[in-house]
Amino acid sequence: MDTDRYRVKPGSKVGLAAWDPADDGGLDKVDGQAQLEKERFELARLQELLYADGRHKLLVVLQAIDAGGKDGTIRSVFERVNPQGVEVTSFKRPTDVEVAHDYLWRVHQHVPRSGILSIFNRSHYEDVLVVRVHGLVPKAQWSKRYGHIKAFEQMLIDEGTTVRKFLLHISKEEQRVRQQERIDDPSKNWKFAKADLEERKHWDAYQAAFEDMVTKTSTAASPWYVIPANRNWYRNLLVTTVLNEALRGLGLRYPPPEEGIAGLVVN
């Protein structure tokens, strides 16, 4: 699978209208789901190796518009991994204490330690997304944050963190369908709030904010991937494959055994 065509090259200008959210890579769904299952088992193997090796850490950033599939991605992609080595942080509306600090303060506390795979469900990028769309701070303030964020992520990388960022890209019609399902299905009512319909009115503003976000902060070491997310199975396959490629590139290895255990017999 050619995941590189979904990677945002540093310095390239992204227009999301050119990225098909219904792209399936030419794969049949049945074959794609079979391939996804193989990639899940490979991710489980590599995550165990990451934990055992203890020298590296992996940060996964997920961003999407409402109903874009962040929760479903986490549930599916990491289905096989050992939860002892995985941490998930969902960034909601900041608390009063968090607002009283700089906007990266609450984020830095949740970056992965050695051996851990950390997932951000929303992230520090909310401070160039919702903050921008709703005018919560002046443009002169939020526009500086692209540089802050790039420097922050580079610091993490310099300290041994591998960073992979995914924009889950759905169509406006797909969002409508998913939001309607949340209204019509009692088991999904808890996922819906009337405020979601107000947010939907800002669709174009969010698309512009997403475009600037990936254009200005995708680097060689901390890349963004624009993931077509109308088809859940293909979204999950792409994300899992990208993570496996990143982990295989780390040269992970099991630590050497304790001296003197070779040949021991347990009675």
Tens of pLDDT along 75-98? 999 999 999 999 999 999 999 999
pLDDT score, position 60: 98
Residue with tokens 């986490």: 74
Burial 196-215 (b: 16+ CB within 10 A, else e): eeebbeeeeebeebbbbbbb
Confirm whether 26 is domain-assigned: yes
Confirm whether 265 is domain-assigned: no
Give the 3-state secondary structure percentages of the chain, helix then strand then coil, rounded to 5.
50, 10, 35
Interval 212-234: pLDDT, tens: 999 999 999 999 999 999 999 99
Total of domains in the chain: 1
Confirm whether 157 is domain-assigned: yes
Q: How many CA atoms lie within 13 A of 112 on its CB side?
A: 29
Lowest mean per-residue pLDDT among 52-61, 82-91, 165-174, 258-267: 258-267
pLDDT of 1 over the 90 cut: no
The CA distances from residue 45 to 34, 114, 118, 120, in Å, are 17, 17, 16, 21
- What value does the CA radius of gyration of the chain take, rounded to a whole number of Å? 20
Confirm whether 256 is domain-assigned: no
Confirm whether 138 is domain-assigned: yes
pLDDT score, position 140: 97
Can you give the residue range of the structural domain that contains 42?
A: 3-248
- For the question of whether the overall pTM of this predicted structure is more than 0.85, the answer is yes
Helices within the chain (DSSP H only)? 29-53, 70-77, 96-99, 105-108, 130-133, 139-142, 145-158, 172-184, 195-200, 203-217, 232-248
Confirm whether 183 is domain-assigned: yes
Confirm whether 168 is domain-assigned: yes
